[in-house]
Amino acid sequence: MICGEPNEASCEDVLAEVWLFLDNECDQQRRDAVQKHLDGCGTCLEHFGIEEHIKALLHRKCSGEHAPTELKERLRASIREAVLSQADITVERGPEGTSVEVRKKTSAE
């Protein structure tokens, strides 16, 4: 197989989807395309193997453990703050209730 042939998954596409493939989070058609590419591309197959080993290692070392509640709350607050700092938020209150619009800030803001 020659990478980048028409109707074939490109190396870039395959490598971008390695974790989705490993987690079975893509549809069967996409899985088949990624698998076909991996079967014919040694470079991508090698990269896939590394990612597969990392996933297995993470599973062995981290499975069954749960993050403390305080850590989860700090992470949520940090994520919320990061998202809000990059957003333009409009809150409107009216007779039908409250509506919230969130848009990504433009670079001019």
Domain ranges in the chain are 11-62, 69-104
pTM of the prediction?
0.47
Mean pLDDT of the chain, nearest integer: 80
85 pLDDT band, cuts 50/70/90, is confident
| Average pLDDT of span 78-85 | 79
Are residues 18 and 47 in contact, defined by beta-carbon separation less than 8 angstroms?
yes
Cα 80 to Cα 74, 87, 102, distances in angstroms: 10, 10, 13
pLDDT at 11: 85
pLDDT tens track for 24-76 = 888 898 888 888 888 888 888 888 888 888 888 887 877 766 778 898 889 88
